[in-house]
Copies of this chain bind each other. A is one copy, B any other.
Amino acid sequence: MSAFSSNPSSAPCNNNVGFLQKNNSLEERSRIVSSFKEKHSSSKNLRSCENSDTESRFRRAETDFSNLFARDLLPAKNGEEPTMQFLLEVVDILTNYVRKTFDRSTKVLDFHHPHQLLEGMEGFNLELSEQPESLEQILVDCRDTLKYGVRTGHPRFFNQLSSGLDIIGLAGEWLTSTANTNMFTYEIAPVFVLMEQLTLKKMREIIGWPNGEGDGIFSPGGAISNMYSVMVARYKYFPEAKTKGMSAVPRLVLFTSEHSHYSIKKSGAALGFGVENVILLKSDERGRVIPADLEAKIIEAKQKGYVPLFVNATAGTTVYGAFDPIDEIADLCEKYNMWLHVDGAWGGGLLMSRKHRHKLSGIERANSVTWNPHKMMGVPLQCSAILVREKGLLQGCNQMCAGYLFQPDKQYDVTYDTGDKAIQCGRHVDIFKFWLMWKAKGTIGFEQHINKCLELSEYLYNKIKDREGFEMVFRGEPQHTNVCFWYVPPSLRGMPDCEERRERLHKVAPKIKAMMMESGTTMVGYQPQGDKVNFFRMVISNQAATKSDIDFLIEEIERLGQDL
């Protein structure tokens, strides 16, 4: 009767091992191992040993999802088993994806044009319909969604300031979605609200504000954090703008460098300043703002009768990775009584490194700071903080005292409720993954990550600065991990600097990028900047990247670009 007696005990596993040995790809192997696992946990052989319902319900079993639908899952009656089986199946898809993401033999992406995906790929149909699909189809859709996506955690994905797939951060996000709550009150997010408070305080300490005093909030991204800074600055100097609007205050102007992030201009447009009143400052050849230009433009604005309100200093510009000289800007802000904001969305992470934090020297003099852990610190998207030195401004600026949400007569200390500080009502829990990563790595773990990324970019810089066919966009070692360069194909190397060369060089990076994406081997961004034609911007924030990936990138650019 026992399956064990009817089978030689070692036979099935030997069979499986043999099967495995024939297959070399990790993907293939993991699929087989999964199916092996399924068979073992549901086959008659083992069933005979696990014939109790109570036992088998919580293990992954072979489930026929083709006859199951969303309505069969919890809270449906008897929904527990299909729910668990479905979730475990999803987890199997996800863990396979995670594994493959770190495997360099996996492509970064499997590129398709929009029309191709819209027409439907082998049973992957994006259209929504009246009737439900089976859970089997839903699982196929999950697999296909990942298949046709981009592996932003792949060691050779360098396309964005946010890259990498941190396992602790991922676990944190899974938990966050399972908890599915809202940051607006302590009442429904007690633990997360406290984590946010403690983490923001720690960040303020690291910025250098005395005792970590001040305020802050996590927002849905750096652009909105920057928008907060402009709002709070306006409220500090012209609180009447909140009630009476921008027509009741003098013409206010904001200053930011030509290399800064476009979100300052977006804020100017959105908040009623007008883009014309966002004055762009000149940068030096390295992308750092020129303080003398700031002072000249402040004086010019005042002569016109405008009121200089706000200066944004960027700590880590998007393209060059430049750090504006914060101390010199702070002097001018003090002299002219202006708000100093530091946009450290990209470069704020360097504060965690004793070796590199001097690049943000003077940040402790800022009135507000944007700092996105989802960029340089490798936290999953979205995780951005706006930190404000003066307490009470965020609340004063944004509160509307909605009685239905923020009842003063609750049984707990309602100063912990955060909703009235925010421009949002409901607010996603962005803190947990970050808090968990900090616990798991320690402050020193973040420091090591930052230092390693900067070492890698130094390695890249040293490798290409004198290499044939490579031309640096600016001289000298980059301040951040941004390395900006042109690849000059052999056909252009002899050519003098003329309009034709510029035009042809302008097309090189887009062509190489297109080929990269179509071959799926790696991804790196490019753009023009000012009068400079398209160049590659390499950035490293991915903890999976190594020197060999840098070598690969260089060789891949040469391989794809040699005949252009």
Contacts and interface: CB of A to CB of B under 8 A. Distances in A.
Contact of A171 (B87, B182, B227, B510): B87
Given A141-B439, A182-B162, A445-B71, A272 B275 contact: no
Given A177-B170, A444-B130, A247 B247 contact: yes
A135 interface: yes
B69 A440 contact: yes
A221 B34 contact: no
Given A84-B95, A152-B181, 9 more contacts: A73-B168, A98-B178, A113-B413, A114-B413, A145-B191, A150-B181, A227-B423, A246-B273, A381-B428
This chain: how many copies in the complex?
2
A367 to B, nearest CB: 18
A117 B192 contact: no
B403 A529 contact: yes
Interface stretch (A54-62, A293-301, A358-366, A551-559): A54-62
Nearest to A96: B58
Given A10-B49, A198-B128, A20 B99 contact: no
A93 B405 CA distance: 31
A537 B97 contact: no
Nearest to A133: B439
A268 B246 CA distance: 10
A220 interface: yes
B272 A55 contact: no
A146 B179 contact: yes
B404 A266 contact: no
A87 B449 CA distance: 22
A188 B153 CA distance: 12
A564 interface: no
Contacts of A407: 510, 526-527, 534
B153 A12 contact: no
A159 B179 contact: no
Interface string A472-515: 00000000000000000000000000000000000100100110
A319 interface: yes
Contacts of A384: 426
A189 interface: yes
A17 to B, nearest CB: 5
Contacts of A88: 91, 95
22 contacts: A9-B48, A9-B49, A10-B48, A36-B55, A94-B175, A98-B178, A113-B412, A114-B416, A126-B435, A133-B442, A142-B175, A150-B190, A153-B180, A165-B180, A173-B177, A188-B523, A220-B382, A243-B269, A269-B400, A270-B271, A404-B525, A409-B510
A222 interface: yes
A248 B437 CA distance: 48
A270 B2 contact: no
Contact of A138 (B99, B440, B529): B440
Interface stretch (A257-265, A327-335, A461-469): A257-265
A129 interface: yes
Given A20-B55, A55-B16, A407-B510, A181 B149 contact: yes
Interface string A171-206: 101111111111000111111101100110010000
Determine which residue in A83, A149, A195, A517 has the highest number of CB atoms from chain B within 10 A of its CB, and name it: A149
Given A13-B50, A175-B90, A175-B146, A221 B98 contact: no
A425 B87 contact: no
A97 B181 CA distance: 14
A395 interface: no
Contacts of A94: 174-175, 178
Contacts of A231: 270
Given A152-B179, A190-B114, A262-B402, A2 B10 contact: yes
A405 B537 CA distance: 11
A123 interface: no
A276 B159 contact: no
B409 A155 contact: no
A140 B17 CA distance: 36
Interface in A122-170: 126-133, 135, 137-138, 141-142, 144-146, 148-150, 152-153, 155, 159-160, 162, 165, 167-168, 170
A70 B436 CA distance: 10
Given A102-B74, A437-B70, A248 B270 contact: no
A112 interface: yes
A150 B188 contact: yes
Given A98-B74, A142-B175, A165-B180, A52 B17 contact: yes
B527 A403 contact: yes
A562 to B, nearest CB: 19
A354 B148 CA distance: 35
Nearest to A228: B270
A247 to B, nearest CB: 5
A389 interface: no
Given A220-B428, A404-B318, A443-B130, A145 B534 contact: no
A423 B152 contact: no
